[in-house]
Amino acid sequence: MGFWQQSLESNIDPNKRGQWHLYRDVLYYLAQKSGEWTLNNSWRHWILRQHAQEFYDMISTMLKLENMDSFLDEDDPLLLAILRRSRSEFEACISNSDHALLICSLSGRYMEALATWPQALGVMRSIGFFDDSDTLVNSLWQYAVQVRSVESIEVLTRFKKHIASLEWSYLDEAWIMARNMATTREVDEMRWAGSFDAALAKLQPDCLMDSSIEDEGCDQIATSTISPYHSYSLSILGAESAWKAGFRDLNTLQWEDGWPKKYGNFITPLWSFSHQSAVYNIPKENVRVIIWLMDHGANPFWIHPKLLTTPAHNIVRRAKIRAAYKADVSSMSMFEALLLSRTRDRCTCFCSKHGCCCVGLTASKTGDPFYETLQGKQSMRHIVFPYLFGVLDQHKKEHWMSSAVFRMMTFEKLSLTHTCCYRIFSEIWGDVQRPTAEKAQDIHDIQRDDIKLFEKLVTEFAAKWAAYNKPFVTFMNRVWKKRMRQVKEERRVDKESYQAELLRMGVTLEKLNEASTKSDFSDEEETDSDWSDDYESDDGRNGWYTTDEEGEGNDDAEDGSI
């Protein structure tokens, strides 16, 4: 039973002639809102976009209940035959017609209705329509994908000469939408898998290149090899079909349309997928696909030759924002292996020595406007940091991890300027530009004294933490915070003067960074209650810890000497 049939019949009894006008009123409303019986209008995002198949099923049902041709204001026998789903009328309309003229007359309003009626496509196939026109087959196939009719897709794929890479992405997207709408209509996963298999057999790149192209700075060669994994809407079902079909190279560099040309258009599938996932609402399917790609050999640490960072860094940033936004660290725990990796990118910034590492960037409170909101600040303190500190406690012997976190948090506490990939998504899709190597060096020169202090503090914290016998959160509250407050009192740097110098050089000072770092030094906002030492759960991975340390007046404890 279709979506609209369910909705209507819950309140309307079709056996009562007196209620037929209610059906008519609904159809009038739909026609008025949509303008015509076509998907190509602004209203499709609700009914025609989400329930196109059910919409046309309902029209057919309505027309069979009563002769409503006059209501539709249609005098075209072919369109009426299609809307009625009358095979005999449809055959009569097309059997004796000139194929070429009929094909030319089939506009979108015919196409989308035909795409929801596989039996009509079977009639057209038997008469030979699909032998005469590749354009007709391609158009109907795209409409079938748009309305997510897997039966129609099956029929039409047999007659398509090839499937373009972009069409493969459309098929993937159609399956995801069909599955997500499964509450209104049963989804035959086996048939969809068969459609993927048939499409893969005819997959071709959108435009073949004459030769391999080496992207400057890449460790790999970008070729015209077809990679179904570059689909912008890759699904698990599509990925598994591609793997089964023999597509085993998940690190192929392939041209991607829509990617900003200034950064080079050749990227890996995992890079493509890692930067496209919605920031605040990464769908579970996207997380599953990323994990699937890595499990099957996709390299999370491929370094982009111009942006100088990796898919792993993108993924961790996305997971951290989602954890803060959703108050749920599950997205971070799924990618914990990336936090434990020593692999660094090629960024040049003092926030992370010899390149950014994933565990370090997890401690950053800059790079996205969300972190400046009240929700973002609270979520970082009470969601992200508890998880991160728990990871550090479990891996205390991995001194490089705690040092990376000390570096990031101390760097931002001192209001030093990032010259790395910390705003990568704004670089790609916004107007943010990273400082050039020359400008970065100028920034470092201006901040030289603060950088020396910064390096001294990081070394100090690392040494004290190595001798500390209590949880990381206790160390941060009673050692790191206390020391940073002392630094605040000791510093005699004229911030206004060097910030004026930065502005003179043309550096845009990010308001987010300024606001967050200034508030970090605020005694009213930065209190020991931000990182509580006590937590009800015994599971350290889920929150804070219980400590036997009494008060904050214990100078030995604060110095790390227990």
pLDDT at 231 over 80: no
What pLDDT is attached to residue 312? 94
CB 252 within 8 Å of CB 225: yes
DSSP character for 267?
Answer: E
pLDDT, tens digit, 9 for 90 and up, residues 378-428: 888 889 999 999 999 999 999 999 999 999 999 999 999 999 888 887 787
Place 15 in a pLDDT band, splitting at 50, 70 and 90.
very low
DSSP character for 381?
Answer: I
For 247, phi then psi, to 5°, come to -80, 100
Per the model's pLDDT, the better-predicted residue between 477 and 83 turns out to be 477
DSSP character for 222?
Answer: B
Q: Could you give the CA distance from residue 393 to residue 549 in angstroms, rounded to a whole number?
A: 17
pLDDT, tens digit, 9 for 90 and up, residues 106-164: 766 678 888 889 998 888 888 877 876 778 888 899 989 988 889 999 999 988 888 88
Domain boundary pick from 102, 129, 161: 161
Q: Report the number of distinct structural domains present in the chain.
A: 2
Domain boundary pick from 130, 161, 192: 161
DSSP character for 477?
Answer: I
Residue 391 covered by a domain = yes
Place 561 in a pLDDT band, splitting at 50, 70 and 90.
very low
Residue 129 covered by a domain = yes
Residue 199 covered by a domain = no
Report the first-to-last Cα separation within the chain, whole angstroms: 70
Provide long-range contacts, Cβ within 8 A and 24+ apart, for 364-367: 364/408, 364/412, 364/422, 365/412, 365/516, 365/520, 366/412, 366/418, 366/422, 366/510, 366/512, 366/513, 366/516, 367/317, 367/418, 367/422, 367/423, 367/424
pLDDT at 519 over 60: no
pLDDT, the chain, mean:
75
Q: Could you give the CA distance from residue 260 to residue 222 in angstroms, rounded to a whole number?
A: 17
Sign of CA dihedral 320, 326, 329, 335: negative
Residue 434 covered by a domain = yes
pLDDT at 18 over 60: no
What pLDDT is attached to residue 3? 43
What pLDDT is attached to residue 22? 45
List Cβ neighbours of 500 (8 Å cut-off, separation of 6 or more).
none
Domain boundary pick from 138, 161, 184: 161
Residue 262 covered by a domain = no
CB 265 within 8 Å of CB 211: no
Q: Could you give the CA distance from residue 346 to residue 349 in angstroms, rounded to a whole number?
A: 9
Mean pLDDT throughout 188-202?
90
Among residues 106, 103, 7, which one has the least CA distance to residue 50? 7
pLDDT, tens digit, 9 for 90 and up, residues 159-177: 888 888 888 888 988 888 8
State both tokens at 401.
């991890």
Residue 185 covered by a domain = no
Full-model pTM: 0.74
pLDDT at 59 over 50: yes
Among residues 29, 33, 52, which one has the least CA distance to residue 41? 33
Residue 297 covered by a domain = no
Residue 78 covered by a domain = yes
pLDDT at 523 over 60: no
Instruction: Give Cα 287 to chain centroid, integer Å.
Output: 9
Mean pLDDT throughout 286-310?
91
pLDDT, tens digit, 9 for 90 and up, residues 335-360: 999 999 999 999 889 999 899 999 99
**Cα-based angle 96, 98, 99 (whole degrees, multiple of 5):** 105
Mean pLDDT throughout 52-80?
66
Q: Domain range spanning residue 484?
A: 367-558
Which residues partner with 222 through β-bridges?
213, 253
List Cβ neighbours of 133 (8 Å cut-off, separation of 6 or more).
99, 100, 103
Q: What percent of the chain has pLDDT over 90?
A: 26
**Cα-based angle 198, 202, 207 (whole degrees, multiple of 5):** 145
Place 547 in a pLDDT band, splitting at 50, 70 and 90.
very low
Q: Could you give the CA distance from residue 242 to residue 175 in angstroms, rounded to a whole number?
A: 15
Highest mean pLDDT among 12-21, 269-278, 308-317, 513-522: 308-317
CB 169 within 8 Å of CB 198: no
